[in-house]
Amino acid sequence: MSALPLKGLIVLEFSQYLSGPSAGLRLADLGARVIKIERPGTGEAGRKLSIKNLWAADGSSLLFHTINRNKESFAADLKNADDLEKVKQLIAQADVITHNFRPGVMEKAGLSFAEVQAINPRVIYAEISGYGKRGPWKNRPGQDLLLQSMSGLTYTTGDAVNGPVPFGLSIGDTLCGAQLVQGILAALIRRSKTGQGAFVEISLLESLLDFQFELLTTYYASGKQPQRSNINNGHPLLSAPYGIYATDAGYIAIAMNDLQQVAKAVQCNDLLQYGPQDAFSKRDEIKECIAKHLLTNTASYWQQQLHAAGLWAMEVLNWQQLSQQDGYRRLQMEQALRMKDGTQVITTRCPIRINGQKLYSTTPGPVVGEHNKQITREFLTTTTA
């Protein structure tokens, strides 16, 4: 696509692991030129963050390449005066700077917002922290599982009879990166009108609290902790039949539906005794009734019956089953990264479409310092290479 909306925008990414790089990934997908500022030799810490020991030929994890595709790498030691001067020259020409270091790291390097703004008043300075830069938690480790646990999120998944259950992915990192992009784009729009730069701040904790706004609003109003159902929990605030149920073959998810309509659709006479007034007060009792009945046939059969009645239900699919569905194939969500050793890595594409066009990128993450010479020629012509 020749006219991506962020083409011409220069982003310097002082970020590692997932949250900051995921923001850079989306900006790069939308056309920005994202340059990772990495320590010489080892690069950013996320290069060694492996999942199931899957590594690329350059020694970086496949996860690193999927979240840093289509970026460039400029190796610089921020403790070295000459390297720091080069980085400051890049800052003078950048539009956006992102980082997710611990509080005080960028300040110690002489790259606080105030210092960067003195170099480039129009720059958008965007940072992610774990818990904010102030307060008693500011130096706690900003790791996703830890944030999920202390934010209350682990009490939204699983049944009430279970202990706390985390999401099976780094939901805090992903949400925080996406919200940082929202803040950056808003600041860029304002800059186009006023010429002013901006300081965009977000924390993993704030992202996960915002994610739970339904539950927290209910808690603020009542002072009571939302309760998961004891069986087939799908959402602490929603009544029966909402949840996932085992069947004779496979599982089925049933969303918000009228109990009488569900009873008729699945031919469950025992369910007919319950009305709308019972849907929450007798939630576990109703779900137990549904669960027992659905074991008498397959998920495919029950989906057909519920869909025929116009009710909301879907079979539960794993990734292998999903990949075989025509609805998935039509989305064309897969793309191949062309690795430097000639192999390919299949990953997902950017989910955004611009004027009907899907956004693909075949370029993997960069080697540490891969673009030093090129970036020096373009931006640092007054310095010695």
Which residues have a catalytic role annotated? 173
CA distance 268 to 286: 11
CA angle in degrees (0–180, nearest 5) for 45-47-48 = 80
Q: 11 near 27, Cβ under 8 Å?
A: yes
Structure tokens given for 368: 């540490």
The type of residue at 351 is P
Taking the C-alpha atoms of residue 362 and residue 69, their distance in angstroms, rounded to an integer, is 8
Angle, helices 204-211 vs 213-222, to 10°: value is 70
**Nearest-angstrom CA–CA distance, 104 and 81:** 19
In this structure, the dihedral spanned by the alpha carbons of residues 324, 326, 328 and 331, taken in order and rounded to 10 degrees, is 140
Find the farthest-apart pair of alpha carbons in the chain and give their distance in angstroms, rounded: 83
Tokens of 200: 């965009």
SS3 128: strand
Cis before residue 21, ω within 30 degrees of 0?
A: no
Single-letter amino acid, residue 99: H
CB 373 within 8 A of CB 381: no
Number of continuous H segments (helices) and E segments (strands) in the chain? 15, 13
**Is residue 149 within 8 Å of 121, Cβ to Cβ?**
no
